[in-house]
Chains A and B, each alone.
Chain A
Amino acid sequence: MALPSFRFVELPEIKDSYHQMAVDEAVMIAVAEGKSMPSLYIHPWPERAVAIGFFQSVEEEVNVEYCVQHSIRIFRRMTGGGAVYKYPEGELNYSIIIPENFMPELRDIVTSYGVLCQPIIDALKKLGMDASFRPVNDVVVAGRKISGNAQTRKKGVVFQHGTILLDFDVDTMLNVLKISREKLKDKVVDDLKRVVTTVKEQLGYVPSFDEFSSLMRESFEDVLGVRFVDGKLTPYELELAEKLYNEKYSTRGWNFWR
């Protein structure tokens, strides 16, 4: 029996973080409307930026002045969860867009995190890391977070994106995010290193993007029982992404709404 086909998207050039957010929502809408196949894409982050969760307040989480001075973009995700400092070499990102009726395990949000994080765990294991799932939405190695993930759902479609930490710029992160500023800085750095780890720290090197990407692709195929076909964004998705970029994700109204 032939396996169901999903699309593995080769993304167009992503101009900035707003653009990535706009593409994410555009693909989600296209899949929900039945205009595109369920999809996966894997990509580096296009720039230095701080992502804040849907429910977070910029003022409470981000040192805005520092970001402005250092050309670090501040953007809001359509998903909940926490603030993250992102930069091109720092992480590998993925998005999976899949109908919630594709597998019974996808219906319940908490259960579905376990299913959709499994390919990440498998890819990290293939590289030699002892990764495991930590509910609700983390992947850990030896109890330290190596991957954060977040989900939203619209019209019967699950959108999950996440990040695998490749390397860690603690100094910039502490300047960008308002983390326990009352604590002594050394203490904060120690605490962070105790709870977070990276691929570079675990392996002593960072595998190439292509190697990582094919391992992730294979692992998603195995966990979901699907076959990926290579594809690009459709004209409909590109047009929708442009509209969402201009009318939503690049606007102050969206990024600073709370």
Chain B
Amino acid sequence: MEVEKRAEKKVAGGKLIRVRVVVDDDKIEDIRITGDFFMHPEEKIVELENFLKGVNVSEVGKAVEKWFSSTDVVVVGASVQDFVDVVREVLK
């Protein structure tokens, strides 16, 4: 059954990361990461979201870490750990 969930995290320095996910049968069906952070290059956010689709909810934190370590994306105003935390939080 599909379930939609939302979570948000106010990170050190005041920026906000929000996540919306649709979970179906313990797998991420769809995910949207929004907020007032900076990611360079910006278009990479779509790549991250696509990378997480189909991932099992129990593996999602690791998947976020893996994606960041495999690209040269620079995040400003938040940390990789903040993204890991908020994605884990929404799937709790």
- Measured CB to CB, the residues of A under 8 A from B are 53-57, 60, 78-83, 109-110, 135-137, 150-154, 258
A-B contact pairs, 6 of them (CB 8 A): A55-B34, A56-B36, A79-B42, A81-B38, A136-B77, A152-B40
CB–CB B38/A80 < 8 A: yes
Indicate whether B76 reaches chain A with its CB closer than 8 angstroms: yes
1/0 per residue, CB under 8 A from A, across B54-92: the answer is 000000000000000000001011000000000000000
A165 nearest CB across to chain B (Å): 17
Q: How far is the CA of A238 from the CA of B88 in the complex (A)?
A: 46
Of chain A, the residue at the smallest CB distance from B77 is: A136
Contact A258 B40 (CB under 8 A): no
User: Is B27 in contact with chain A by the CB < 8 A criterion?
Assistant: no
Min CB–CB distance A258 → chain B (angstroms): 6
Contact with A along B26-50 (1 / 0, CB 8 A): 0000001111111111100100000
Which residues of A have CB within 8 Å of B39? 55, 80
* Alpha-carbon gap, A60 to B36, bound state (A): 11
Task: Please give the distance in Å from B77's CB to the nearest CB on chain A.
Answer: 5
Tell me, in angstroms, the Cα distance from A150 to B76 when the chains sit together: 11
Chain B residues positioned under 8 Å from A80 (CB to CB): 36-39, 42, 76-77
Inter-chain CA distance A57–B20, complex, in Å, is: 11
Q: Which residue in chain B gives the minimum CB-CB distance to A110?
A: B76
Q: Indicate if the CB atoms of B36 and A258 lie closer than 8 Å.
A: no
A109-B74 contact in complex given A78-B42, A152-B42, C-beta closer than 8 Å: yes
> For the complex, what is the distance from the CA of A135 to the CA of B76, rounded to whole Å?
10
The answer to whether A57 touches B36, judged by C-beta atoms less than 8 angstroms apart, is: no
Among the listed A57, A60, A83, A151, which residue makes an inter-chain contact with B38, where contact means beta carbons less than 8 Å apart? A151
Q: Do most interface residues of chain A lie in helix, strand or loop, or is the interface mixed?
A: loop
* B32 CB contact (under 8 Å) in A57, A137, A150, A154: A57
Per a CB cutoff under 8 Å, which of B33, B36, B45 touches A81?
A: B36
B45 and A55 contact, CB distance less than 8 A: yes
Specify which chain B residues have a CB less than 8 angstroms from the CB of A55 in the assembled complex.
33-37, 39, 42, 45
Docked Cα-Cα span, A154 to B77, in Å, equals: 19
Inter-subunit contact A258/B76 (CB<8 Å): no
Q: How far is B34's CA from A83's CA once the two chains are assembled, in angstroms? A: 12
Answer whether A56 and B40 are a contact pair too, CB < 8 Å, given A109-B76, A136-B76, A136-B77: no
**For the complex, what is the distance from the CA of A136 to the CA of B32, rounded to whole Å?**
24
Given A55-B42, A83-B36, A150-B38, 16 other A-B residues pairs in contact with their CB atoms under 8 A: A53-B35, A54-B42, A55-B34, A55-B35, A56-B36, A57-B32, A80-B37, A80-B39, A80-B77, A81-B77, A82-B15, A110-B76, A136-B77, A137-B77, A154-B41, A258-B32
Would B41 and A60 count as touching, CB distance under 8 A? no
Cβ 8 A contact of A153, one of B32, B35, B41: B41
